[in-house]
Structure 1
């Protein structure tokens, strides 16, 4: 049971550390200017991804299926993040 809690803590610590890094970069780095909405969207994407990966890890599926599903989840995160940042696909949500 403790091992499951440790896995969950690690899975959710990664987006927390990324958000903390972005927060301090926003304070101290020149040219980094995220608005509160940017932090909200980034937090939703990162913690949502962590939630779904945690669900997959805790499932009873075989390891190759877990790895494949986690890869797909991370690929979707990367594509959405890229679209929001630079507009790879040209949707209305595309960044500048």
Structure 2
């Protein structure tokens, strides 16, 4: 989250509000907690990698939706 914060200091093209930082912080926290939970609870390596893939894919889809509105939901970005 330091990249958008730094970019906001030098350019007007990056325009995050405090709410954007809070939402991204929560999303990253949930990603970290999910990966930590999976690594502690799933014993088989193949299942663990599959769950990692799904949680990272979910994160990327949510990130893209919040950034540019890929699916056109009401909480989409620009």
**Structure 2 length normalisation: TM-score?**
0.86
Q: Which has the higher contact order (CA 8 A, sep 6+)?
A: 1
Give the structure 1 partner of residue 31 of structure 2.
49
- In structure 2, runs of 5+ residues without a counterpart are none
1:41-80 equivalences in 2 (<5 Å): 41-80=23-62
Q: How many residue pairs get matched? A: 78
What TM-score does the superposition give when structure 1 sets the normalisation length? 0.72
Higher helix proportion, which one? 1
Q: In structure 1, how many angstroms separate the alpha carbons of the residues matched to 2:57 and 2:43? A: 20
